[in-house]
A and B are shown apart, each in its own frame.
Chain A
Amino acid sequence: MTQETQIPAQDLPHDAALTHFAKSRRNQLIRAAVIFAGIALVPLAVRDTYLQNVMILTLLYAAVSQCWNILGGYCGQISLGHALYFGIGAYATSVLYVNYAVLPWFGMALGGVLSAAVALLVGKLTFRLKGHYFAIATIVIAEIGLLLVHNWDYVGGALGIQWPITGDSWATLQFARNKLPYFYFALVFLIVTWLITFKIEDSSWGYGWRAVKDNPEAAESLGIEVFRSKMAAAALSAFFTAVGGGFYAAFVAYIDPESVMSFRFSLLFALPAVLGGIGTLWGATLGAALLIPLTEITRSYLGGSGSGIDLIIYGGLIMLVSLMKPEGLLSLFQFRKGRPA
């Protein structure tokens, strides 16, 4: 603010700035295409079933964390109850398929809609709360959901739901030996959630959500309906989280309350985005690529999920990241941020 700009606005080269921005968006898409194409080639080299399983889970968690990031990263509402939406998707898909022979494709969509509706209800109850109080409320509500499912015989209670054994089919998403279909489904799911996030980043929704995250009062003064913005973000986030849950149910072909709705899942959806870079396009994917293989490997070497050593490890990782790089690991790669003087 040392000199006054006297040039009339219309004479300035805004077209250049707009074109430059459009070009950088195009470059991001090209980079994404290269990265995703690279991932698609990996299973052609890695034939081991165990490793393929780990990769499928990594992609799935990356995608669901990407969904979590819509609400948590962009809109700033830190939910630690996303296991509820994941569970709704898994249960809706399983119940519809096992009891009514509804194909999982439709089950995932219906589960998504149901989950979005539940998210709106949860939002109505909790979005008046701020910060930690909101996070605590989401934990509690997800735990209530877990308890309800535990005691609800119609959905199998504590025993859960076993998917029938059938032949390999894309219609029912059942593949006994071949892991590749699951791998590519999970990859496409990740790409879809990434593209949605990409689209949102440069839209009125995306800017509105980030404004709500940074300063709700200022956002309101600029015409943004804060409550409605949060509700929209929650519904979108919950819909795709449930699709992930439905896919997971089809993938493991057996679900019980603890295996899809425990608090551990809520953490595993939030942590990749936080670790990689909250509110960024690639944070969730980068975080999942580090965290999930680490989790799976420690679990298989150090014993089952009961020991919780994996939780200790990423608790430590998060502490390390928040102390050293609070913006997430992705900030290590951002060379462009330092602008020429």
Chain B
Amino acid sequence: MSAPSVILETIDVTQRFGGLVANSNVSIKVGRGEILGLIGPNGAGKSTLFNAIAGARIPTSGRILFDGHDITALTAPDRCRLGIARTFQVPRSFDSMSVVENVMVGSFVRASNAREARQLALETLHFVGLGARVEDPAIQLTPPEKRRLEMARALATAPKLLLLDEVMTGLTPSEARLGVELIRKVRESGVTVVMVEHVMEIVMPLVDRAIVLHLGALLAEGKPTEIVRNDAVISAYLGDRHRAA
């Protein structure tokens, strides 16, 4: 028996902040094992949708289904235990702790004792390429290393779905290349990846499918090659003037 092919589904998710509608009736499906890009210009509602999926904010209306559960009203810790892990747009490392201790916080979700948690954390840190820095204080890491640390922390919870919030922002091209390799490796290990990104050049070669949001609503979805040729997407990103160009 094979698992259902849709791991995450949002149904008519709407988020209002007072008079502002940040997401309006957004319905998306994420397939098990795919890398999905959630893209759109600034203010398109990517982060709002991301936060609704991660559990940081419960949407005004609509439902979110994950792996056979209705998670619309679940708290972030409950979602974590069901198998959703996330990173933050601005890395939020635990700065009073060492690198390995940061990751142990995540691995305690499935470890029964501290030794096991440490072992899992060390394995995860080697997986993301931070094996040489395990004992360093987290505060000493460089920004790209902090992003890796967040990935490690999230992966240590053994998620089924990993939500990445602009992990590529601010990286040099060579750092971004390493990041892309890492995300591919994560997917190969069986984790579904949803990434919010607005750097198109990085996302497009990496993702299997992209969903474009514009002004809080779904604008387009499809393979990257289709998306980059989609007229609506081009005008949303560049304005109508550039459509002909």
Contacts and interface: CB of A to CB of B under 8 A. Distances in A.
A336 to B, nearest CB: 10
B109 to A, nearest CB: 4
B178 A4 contact: yes
Given A5-B129, A9-B126, A221 B85 contact: yes
Given A18-B115, A221-B80, A213 B96 contact: yes
Given A204-B114, A220-B75, A223-B157, A214 B94 contact: yes
B108 A204 contact: yes
A312 interface: no
A35 interface: no
Contacts of A299: none
A65 B145 CA distance: 36
A222 B153 contact: yes
A4 B80 contact: no
Contacts of B136: 339
A339 B135 CA distance: 9
Nearest to A201: B114
A61 B54 CA distance: 44
A41 interface: no
A218 interface: yes
A203 B119 contact: no
A225 interface: yes
Contacts of B170: none
Interface residues of A, number: 35
B77 A208 contact: no
B239 to A, nearest CB: 35
Interface in A166-219: 202-204, 207-208, 210-211, 213-215, 217-219
Interface string A236-255: 00000000000000000000
A203 B129 CA distance: 25
A203 B136 CA distance: 19
A339 B140 CA distance: 12
Interface of A: 1, 4-5, 7, 9-10, 12, 14, 17-18, 21-22, 202-204, 207-208, 210-211, 213-215, 217-226, 279, 337, 339
Given A215-B92, A222-B106, A223-B77, 14 more contacts: A1-B178, A4-B129, A14-B122, A17-B118, A202-B114, A204-B114, A207-B105, A215-B94, A217-B92, A221-B55, A221-B76, A221-B154, A225-B75, A226-B77
